[in-house]
Amino acid sequence: MTDVAAPVIAFRGVGVTYRKGPVWNRTEVPAVGAVDLEIAAGETLGLVGESGSGKTTLGRVALGLIRPSRGEFLIEGRPFDPAIRREGALSVVLQHPEWALNPRLRCGVSVAEPLTIRGDLDRQARRQRVASMLERVGLDPGFAERYPGDLSGGQRQRMAIARALITEPRFIVFDEAVSALDVSVQAQILNLIRELQAEHRFAAIFISHDLAATRYISHRIAVMLKGDIVEVAPARTFYDMPAHDYSRALYATIR
């Protein structure tokens, strides 16, 4: 058992600089300044800001897809180790579920894939796990036999969430996970994420341009502007009056 009080993930002075241009004329583009953040088990941190503010870059650091240029990124108190990905301790849910589901594979196969990669369960056990996971996300287990093309957008996003949760990850990044869905389906998926989090206690980053959805799902919200976090406050603040001018401008868009 890990220490319950320790944050699941921690950014300590994390900065990311992209390099672009040919080797003889490299220019450095700062994407993220210096971010300090911690996220505890069972907590969702909302990350809002306009495009180019560094939200997605931070999400990629959290998934170990890019290394920070400065500072350190810790998972359960230890520096990021790629083996943790194979274990299925990290997951991601993206804007388009089509990106997570291979159109030529039956959904059940796609959902079971992270388990297959981990390789600790036999076929029968995997199949059972998929069936119970589908039930958890509100899909009939019979959907495992269908192809992604046979499902509606909301059903596909549930399927993508089932795949993200199948290994019981300790940390999940939701990158614009409800932005492509109908209003009513959005509400279903947001409620589903809340319920699953109450049950599995995963830590989460919810990246979105949509402050209304973000404040609904998050415990705390970090507002990013030009690579820096300008405000971190409890989600409740964003129902009332956030402090930073830029947060207020974002807030004004949903009134």
Partner 1 sequence: MTAAVDIRDFVVAYETGGGAVFALDGIDLAIGAGETLGIVGESGSGKSTLGMAIGRLLAPNARIDAGDILVAGCSVTTSDDETVRRLRRERLGFVFQNPMSALDPTMRIGRQVALAMEGTPDTAAVERLLVRAGLDEPGRVARSFPHELSGGMAQRVVIALAIARNPQILIADEPTASLDASIRDRILDLLFAMRAETGASLVILSHDLRMIVHRCERVIVMYGGRIVEMGESQAVFGSPAHPYTRALIRAAAGNEAPGEQLDPIPGVPPVLRAPSADCAFAPRCAHAAERCRRERPAERAVGGSRVACHFAEEIMAASGTAREVAE
Residues that bind partner 1 (CB under 8 A): 50-51, 95, 152-153, 176, 179-180, 182-188, 190-191, 208-210, 212-213, 215-216, 235-236, 239, 253-254
> Please, what is the minimum distance in Å from the beta carbon of residue 143 to partner 1?
14
d(CA 186, CA 212): 11
> How would you class 162 by CB atoms within 10 Å of its CB: exposed for 0-12, middle for 13-18, buried for 19 or more?
buried
> Please, what is the minimum distance in Å from the beta carbon of residue 127 to partner 1?
27
> Please, what is the minimum distance in Å from the beta carbon of residue 173 to partner 1?
15
Nearer to partner 1, 89 or 225 (CB): 225
Q: Which long-range contacts (CB under 8 A, 24 or more apart) does 179-184 make?
A: 179/95, 179/208, 179/209, 179/210, 180/95, 180/96, 180/153, 181/153, 181/154, 181/157, 182/153, 182/154
Phi, psi of 119 (to 5 degrees): 70, 25
Nearer to partner 1, 110 or 186 (CB): 186
Nearer to partner 1, 122 or 240 (CB): 240
DSSP assignment of 97-135 equals GGGTS-TTS-HHHHHHHHHHHHT-S-HHHHHHHHHHHHH
Query: What token pair was written down for 237?
Result: 């603040």
> Please, what is the minimum distance in Å from the beta carbon of residue 157 to partner 1?
13
> Please, what is the minimum distance in Å from the beta carbon of residue 50 to partner 1?
6
> Please, what is the minimum distance in Å from the beta carbon of residue 147 to partner 1?
17
Nearer to partner 1, 109 or 230 (CB): 230
Q: What is the dihedral of CA 132, 190, 74, 52, to 10 degrees?
A: 140
Nearer to partner 1, 91 or 186 (CB): 186
Nearer to partner 1, 129 or 209 (CB): 209
